[in-house]
Structure 1
Amino acid sequence: MVTLKQIADEVGVSIRTVSIALNGDPVAGRISETCVQQIQDVANKRGYKVSAAARAIRLNRTFHIGVLVRNSPDMPLIDPAAYETIIGINQQLEKAGYILSLIRFTDVDKQFASESRVFKERVLDGIIGIGNISDHCTDIIQQAIKQCVWIDNNAVNLPYSVRRDEYSAGRLAAQHAYRLGYRNIFWIGGVKKEDGYHISMYERLEGVTDTLAQHDIPFREQKLPRWNPEVGPEQLKQVLNKENLFIAYNNEIATNLGQLATSMGYRIGRDFGMVCCEDSKYISDNWPGLSRSSFDRNAMGKTAADLMLELLNKKRKTEPRDILMPVRWIPGNTAWGPEYQD
């Protein structure tokens, strides 16, 4: 069986450095990623097997981080875009030697009622929550697990959080519409604050309404048949014209309007304008021409993971932090302006 000394001799480092890289905490030990990778490559080539149980006992860490997602048994695909964020989280945690575990937030109350070993036995070193986790569940988790990072949570008083700049997403969409010459601008999305709705809906809407108000443009709302059966094709025909532009709250609404209008014979961008306040990998691959605000969800996951690793580094105190991720505008081709002529 290969020994730590043999690995150290081959790489050209000390036995202690090899031990930390393979069995300890390379981040806390201040070993470069390049050095860690060289040691791991040699260890893998020689067939060295790390004892996770022994390492956990020695360092008082499990090297498992939970990722709390909004998926539930009856709605397993409620937030597929979260996958982009999860990939970013995993990329950073994996480099630091951590393993990611998925937890459904709808199971939290049930798990505590049965004293789940995820929380009772300290299986996790920390938790990263994604999306609008309820205040009740957030409180339960923070009481059970010391290190928590929250991504896109509705609460604004959480000590360690990473959020998208939702207000700018709405502002950029409205500014693009105004610059193109549109003055009849319709919002498609919710307008009333209701329990369970994500804060992005209201912050994007606020970005839109503030921009319209700056230019003395009245706010208008348009409903779609999918969510409002009383709205029929005849009503849509009255508003789908070159003078009008629609700002969709998210990808789902933009896709729904696009498919509906296309089936009715309209050309998006020419016969009416449309922009969206959201982006995703699916949209980038399947509708790259959609005029939209874009967030880098993968980078957001990496940022949250880096914050978690900073919290786990006991040698340094981490001050509470609310990180706002930037947004950029993709002009696309779904809005040409009311003066466009074929």
Structure 2
Amino acid sequence: MVTLKQIATEVGVSIRTVSIALNGDPVAGRISETCVQQIQNVANKHGYQVSAAARAIRLKRTYHIGVLVRNSPNLPLIDPAAYETIMGINQQLEKAGYILNLIRYTDIDKQFASESRVFKERVLDGVISIGNIPPHCTQIITKAIKTCVWIDNNSDSLPNTVKRDEYTAGRLAAHHAIKLGYKNIYWIGGGIKEDGHHISVYKRLEGVTDRLEQAGIEFKNQKLPRWNPEIGPENLKEVFKPHNVFIAYNNEIATDVGQLATSMGYRIGRDFGLLCCEDSKYILDNWPGLSRVSFDRFMMGKTAADMMLKLLTDSEAHGNENRILPVRWIPGNTAWGPDCR
């Protein structure tokens, strides 16, 4: 079997550098990514295998980071957009030699008392949580895992958080509706501040209502048939008109409106306007012309992972960093203004 000395000789570095690159912490050891990659290529060529168990004992780290998602056995595909964020997390963790482990939040509640290896044994160096995790689960996590980063959590009291600027997302959509000349602006989506609802539901609505009030425009709320069976096509014909625009809370609602209107023979953008307060890879691939507010979910994952790595490797990190990611407007072609026929 090849030795560290042989690898060091072939690469042209010290044995210590090879040892850190293969068995230690290359980030803390201040070894460049190029050098680490070169050492790993030579080691792989000769069949060198790192002992993860030995490294964990020596460094007192497992090099495993848990990513907590809201999926459950009954709802395995509840948040597909989180995949974009997870990929961003994985890219940064992989560069630093860490392995990502997915954890469902329902498993914490059910298994913590008796079964969960993740929290009863020292399997993870840290946890990155995505979405609004219930407070009692948050308490379990923070009690068991010292280093945590929270993405899109409702709480304002947690340290090390990464959030979207939800208020500006709503305000930006309303601003462009006004700028386009629409006088009747309808909101489609939730808005009541209740337990279990994500903060984006009422923050986006707050942004919309504040901007409409500033412009002296009346706020209007529109329900869809899927929520209210008393609303039928005849009711929607009264609101699908050129001087009306709809601001959808999220992608799913915008898609529902689009499919419904198209099935009724309407031309979105000309016969009425449609704006959306969020974006996703699905929309980019399947409806790139949707007029919408966008932000980079992949970058959100990278930001959270960088925050985690800083907490793990920087002894001077205070552990109370909170980031709000900006949003941007994509004009699209689903809202041209009431006079553009």
Class of the TM-score when normalised by the shorter of the 2 chains: over 0.9
Asked whether the equivalents of residues 170 and 203 of structure 2 are also in contact (C-alpha less than 8 Å), the reply is yes
C-alpha separation between the residues in 1 aligned to 2:23 and 2:62?
A: 12
Q: Secondary structure at the match of 1:53?
A: helix
Match of 1:289 in 2: 289
Any runs of at least 4 consecutive aligned residues in structure 1 with deviations exceeding 2 A, and if so which?
Answer: 314-319
* Structure 1 range deviating more: 56-65 or 224-233: 224-233
Partner of 1:125: 125
Q: In structure 1, what is the equivalent of residue 160 of structure 2?
A: 160
Query: Cα offset for 1:165?
Result: 0.6
- 1:191 and 1:205 in contact (8 A); partners too: yes
- The answer to whether the 8 A contact 2:311-2:319 is kept is no
Q: Distance in 2 between matches of 1:314 and 1:115?
A: 33
1:267 corresponds in structure 2 to 267
Match of 1:322 in 2: 322
Aligned mates of 1:77, 1:229 — CA distance in 2: 26
Deviates more, 1:276-285 or 1:307-316: 307-316
Shift of 1:319: 3.9
Alpha-carbon distance, 1:314 to partner? 4.9
Matched residue SS, 2:337: coil
Report the Cα offset of residue 191 of structure 1: 2.0
Instruction: Output one character per residue of 1:271-302: Cα deviation in whole Å (capped at 9) or x when no partner.
Output: 00000001000000000000000010000000
1:115: Cα distance to partner? 4.0
What amino acid does structure 1 have at the position aligned with 2:207? G
Q: Corresponding residue for 1:223?
A: 223
What one-letter code is carried by the residue in structure 2 that aligns with 1:232? G
Instruction: State the alpha-carbon separation in 2 of the partners of residues 137 and 331 from structure 1.
Output: 40
Name the % identity. Answer: 77
Q: Deviations over 1:48-92 (max 9, x none)?
A: 101000000000111100000000000000000000000000000
CA distance in 1, matches of 2:244, 2:29: 60
Per the alignment, in what secondary structure is the counterpart of residue 260 of structure 1? Answer: helix
Distance 1:195 1:232 in 2: 30
Match of 2:20 in 1: 20
| Mapped contact 2:71–2:78 kept (Cα < 8 A) | yes
Q: How many residues align?
A: 341
The whole-number CA distance in structure 1 between the counterparts of 2:219 and 2:263 is 27
Structure 2 alignment gaps of length 5 or more: none
Q: Tell me the TM-score normalized by structure 1.
A: 0.98
- Give the 3 Å change call, closer, same or farther, for CA 315–13 of structure 1 in structure 2: farther
Q: Structure 1: which 5+ residue stretches go unaligned? A: none
- RMSD of the alignment, in Å? 0.9
Looking at structure 2, the residues matched to 88 and 191 of structure 1 have their Cα atoms a distance apart, in angstroms, of 30
Secondary structure of residue in 1 paired with 2:238: helix
Residue 113 of structure 1 deviates from its aligned partner by 2.0
CA shift, 1:7, in A, is 1.1
Does the Cα contact within 8 Å between 1:310 and 1:318 map onto a contact in 2? Answer: no
Q: Is the 8 A contact 1:127 1:147 kept in 2?
A: yes
**2:73 matched residue in structure 1:** 73
